[in-house]
Each structure stands twice: as structure tokens, then as C-alpha cells.
Amino acid sequence: MKLKHIGALLIATLATATACDDNTGSLGMSMLPDSDGLSAHVSTFNVKTESILAGAVFAKTSTGYVGKFTDPDFGSYEASFLTELNSTGGELFPEVYHATEWDDEGNPTKGEGLLYKKDSLVAAQLYIYYNNWFGDSLNACRMSVYELDKPLEKNYYTDINPEEFYDTSNAKLLGRKAYSAYDTSVSDSVRNATDSNGNPTYSPHIAIDLDREEFEQRILFTYREHPEYFSNPEAFRDNVLKGMYFKNDLGDGTVLYVDQVALVFQLCLHYTDDETGVALKKADGTDSLYTSSSILFASTKEIIQANHFVNSQLLKERSEEPDWTYIKSPAGIFTQATMPYDDIYQQLTNDTLNAVRLTFTNYKQESTYDYSMSAPDQVLLIRKKDMRDFFENNELPDNITSFTVTHNSVNTNQYTFQNIARLVTTCINEKQAAREAAGDAWNETKWMEENPDWDKVLLVPVSVEYDDNYYSSPTIIRMQHDLRPGFAKLKGGPAMENGELKNPLQLEVISTTFHD
């Protein structure tokens, strides 16, 4: 018999009874009204949890992570990223200035173009923009940037191997720069400056000098000869610059969250008359010139960008601890829960399943470290077999087989999923449908071997993006793996004692029975 769904009236009653209770005690059964022939009760079932290594995770994001951080509990992890640069076409560079009309005395009366002369590139730089970071803001670091010699593929998993895209034995180093996340050389007046609308005019960044002559030839001169190479990102990648690899090669204790990489050119230009376009002269008769900086190519959401994370062996050791579990980001550890679907079906097969609550409680995190990680703010509970497609297809929680909650860090130190009844009934009915389809040929052992993750769910740290509609409640518009450093140590674990789980989680089930 399939477990039945609750009616609308009882759902409303249960929502009122359970919505405000974040503890793992009563689900509010005392608030259910008496009804002729109806009895309601709470059942509890043990849930086994264990830590599993996250391995490579899907990370399609416009944020690049670069740096190294070593934590005494989880060891070190290193972050680096690869990116293309976008070319959107259009007029990227002004024409070299030239007069088009003259008066009777040979003085120009009209002119076109702004560039001082053909080779007027003053400087070429890479700007790495960021607003946030993790770790020590004054830690001394060094970043190196290498040119890719193969185009990036659409691989957004964090185990992407950078060495597949450039020759490490003969790597082309584009530039290198020492830095700290908080640049103390920037004055407060510059750092806090705003425009007429009150918007900040300064963005934290690292500026890396590039070889001026090389990039003048590769970009400016090539643009003059082959403007079609700059018409779209693909043409630019195939003919001009395949991409770049950004890595930390000095310093431990800081990870930057890079918002954008931009190729910036400083050009020498003529001052010209606004109406005639004629180049202006200084009092001594020489050309009146100025230098202008422009962002010409940048990393954007339209091009490929890939993050690469490497964790130390200590992460595996933590995942094997039996008396609790962990969630750890980025690309670190998930908590896996084995759900007691068979026990629920056998015990409550004649009942109506009304509400199911599952709570993950984390131990209080006290640390004497200067830059300790905090518990992930939001987590996703999802069937293990669905996780890969969920992130690859940019799906959102459906409250059937995937749910998200925010950490209650103030009152209970818990991640509480108030009602996952639809998950339970979906999974039970899935197995019963397979049983009915097989008939007398049903083989329980074989089916479980073929569907090992049927009863498995994962607790996954996530980053959630909401819409900014002022007139309505926030709505989730995007969800992805949390790639910021964080962890929580959770009650549970696979340890056994006297043949029973030592620290099982409790799945609380409200069900009702109608009597004749």
C-alpha cells in the first residue's frame, strides 16, 4: 500500500503547529484537534549519517578564487582559476589622428582619429578586481599569471587540471605581482571616494604589468590588420589570446574572491577640437596630448571560467572520524544520511503521513585561531542520485526531493528541515512501483544493488542568490555550491555501540490513522 498524502485542512493545521518550533522535541501533536475516528501520533526513526568526501563539484561561476589557506583542523587547500577574456566587437581603438581638410594656408580645418601615432600604447596591465576575501588581509602573497596554449573546455568541475591547458615545462609567464588583500598604499581619501551619486569610485584590485611591446603587437597592431579576430569571444580566443591561469605561488593565509579580470590599455591620444576634430597645440606649438586608460577585454559570464581546488590529505582523515560528521566547503566534505524508508513503510503502511522533520545539530564551534571558519549559512538537502544534475542544470529546490534551510546560529545551532514528508513518500512509492512492476520476479537484494543511493540524501553547503524585488518576499533565482571556506561539525556519525548506532539522528514522523 502506498503512503497517503495529508488533506488540505490537516496540512494547514500542521503548518501552524510546526512552523515556529526549531527544537527536536514535540512536533506539535497536542495542537491537533480531536476528530471522530482519527488518531494521530509521533514516531521516531533512527537515521545513520556519515561524512563523505565531496570530491570535484560543479562550479560554474563568474567568481574566481585564488590563494592558499591552512587550517589546523582540515589542513591546507589551494585555490586557482583559469579564464578566457571576452571581446564584444565594435570599435576597440581609435584611429591614428590625421587631418582631412585644410585651409588655403595648409592649416588643418577638419580631422579624424585620436591616437597620437601607430605605436601609442603607453602601458598594458592586467587588473584583478575583488571586493572580498577570506583570511589575513595583510598577509604577504604573490600571484603569477600564465598564458594558456590550449582553449578552455566547458568543464566547470573543480578537479580541472590547469596543466592540460599550458605547458608547465615551458610556461609563458605573463606577469607576477606581490600583494596583500588590503592595500595599505591606497590612501583613505582614494579608498572612500564616491561619485556624485554616492557610489564608490575605488575597487580593490591588483595591477600586473604586461610586456608593452608584445601586447602592442598582439592586440593593437593585430586589431588594425584583422578586426574580425575581435568580433566575438570565440574569434578572440582562437586567434589572439586563448586564456590565462591565475595561481598563488607565495603566501599562506589569504584567499581572494575575484570578481573580474580586465586587460587595461593606456593609450596616448590627441586633445582635439570638439567641433572640427582638429588636433590642438600647446603654446609652444607641440601636440597637446593626454593618456587614457580603457578596459578592453574582461572576464564575464559569457565566457568560460573554471576554478581549481586542491585539499590536503588531512581532509580525508577528518571525513573518516566515526563519532560525528562534517560539512566542509569548498569542495570538501558532505554529510550523507541513510533514510529509514523501509522501516517507515513497514510501521506506518496503513497511516497517512503528515509531516516529517529532520534536524542536523552542529557542535558549538570555538576556535582560538585568528581566522577560523564559520558554519555554512545555508545548506541543501538533496537525494544523492540527483545532486549532479541539480547543479549542472541550474535547478532550484522543489521541496519534494530537494530542500534548503538557513542555519539557526542564534537559538539552536541547527539546520532544521521542518517537513520532508514529500521526499519520504516519493522514495517509498518509487520502490513500491518497482516492486509492483516486477511482480513475482521481484528481487529485493538485486534492486538495492542496482539502486544503492535510493535511500541516501546529502547535506551540501550552498550559496543562494535571491531576486531583489522590493515589493515581494525574496525568491531564490540561483543556487550553487558554496565555494567560500566554511565548516560545521555535526552530531551523528557511523560509530556503532553494542550492535546499534551510537549517535543516530532522529527522524520525527507525524502520521494519522482513520479507524472504522
Q: Are 83 and 118 in a shared domain?
A: yes
Given a cut of 50, whether residue 61 has pLDDT beyond it is yes
Q: Are 23 and 49 in a shared domain?
A: yes
Question: Considering the chain, what percentage of its residues have pLDDT values greater than 90?
Answer: 76
Q: Higher pLDDT residue, 199 or 38?
A: 199
Q: Is residue 438 part of a domain?
A: no
* Cis previous bond, 330, omega within 30: yes
Q: Are 25 and 152 in a shared domain?
A: no
Of 309, 303, 156, the closest CA to residue 242 belongs to 303
Q: Is residue 405 part of a domain?
A: yes
Q: Which of 309, 341, 358 is the last residue in one of the domains?
A: 309
**Spatial separation of the C-alpha atoms in residues 226 and 422, rounded to whole Å:** 59
Q: Are 302 and 329 in a shared domain?
A: no
Q: Are 90 and 23 in a shared domain?
A: no
Q: What is the pLDDT of residues 281-290, one digit of tens each?
A: 998 889 999 9
Q: What is the pLDDT of residues 361-408, one digit of tens each?
A: 999 877 667 788 999 999 999 999 999 999 999 999 999 999 999 999
H-run or E-run covering 380? strand 378-383
Q: What is the pLDDT of residues 114-170, one digit of tens each?
A: 999 998 999 999 999 999 999 999 999 999 999 999 999 888 899 999 999 998 888
CA of 438: how far to CAs of 1, 221, 425, 447, 459, in Å? 16, 70, 20, 10, 32
492 and 334 Cβ atoms separated by less than 8 Å: no
H-run or E-run covering 481? strand 476-481
Q: Are 182 and 132 in a shared domain?
A: yes
Structural domain that includes position 195: 75-309
Given a cut of 60, whether residue 23 has pLDDT beyond it is no
80 and 296 Cβ atoms separated by less than 8 Å: no
Q: Is residue 68 part of a domain?
A: no
Q: Which of 291, 309, 327 is the last residue in one of the domains?
A: 309
Handedness of CA 456, 461, 465, 471 (dihedral sign): positive
335-346 average pLDDT score: 97
Q: Is residue 399 part of a domain?
A: yes
CA 171-177-178 angle, 5° bins = 130
Count structural domains, the chain. 2
pLDDT (0 to 100) of residue 409: 82
Q: What is the pLDDT of residues 417-455, one digit of tens each?
A: 999 999 999 999 999 999 999 999 999 999 999 999 999
**Spatial separation of the C-alpha atoms in residues 444 and 431, rounded to whole Å:** 10
Given a cut of 70, whether residue 31 has pLDDT beyond it is no
CA 124-126-132 angle, 5° bins = 155
Q: Is residue 435 part of a domain?
A: no
Q: Are 189 and 332 in a shared domain?
A: no
Q: Are 335 and 412 in a shared domain?
A: yes
Given a cut of 60, whether residue 35 has pLDDT beyond it is no
DSSP state of 218: I
**Residues, the chain:** 516
39 and 515 Cβ atoms separated by less than 8 Å: yes
pLDDT (0 to 100) of residue 298: 85
Q: Are 289 and 364 in a shared domain?
A: no
Q: Which of 309, 325, 347 is the last residue in one of the domains?
A: 309
Q: Is residue 433 part of a domain?
A: no
Classify strands 4-5 and 352-361 as parallel, antiparallel or unpaired.
Answer: parallel
Classify strands 500-501 and 333-338 as parallel, antiparallel or unpaired.
Answer: unpaired
pLDDT band at 472 (very low <50, low <70, confident <90, very high): confident
Q: Are 414 and 289 in a shared domain?
A: no
Q: Are 350 and 278 in a shared domain?
A: no
CA of 5: how far to CAs of 8, 180, 426, 429, 511, in Å? 9, 57, 11, 12, 10
Q: Are 128 and 211 in a shared domain?
A: yes
CA of 23: how far to CAs of 117, 304, 359, 460, 508, in Å? 73, 44, 8, 21, 11
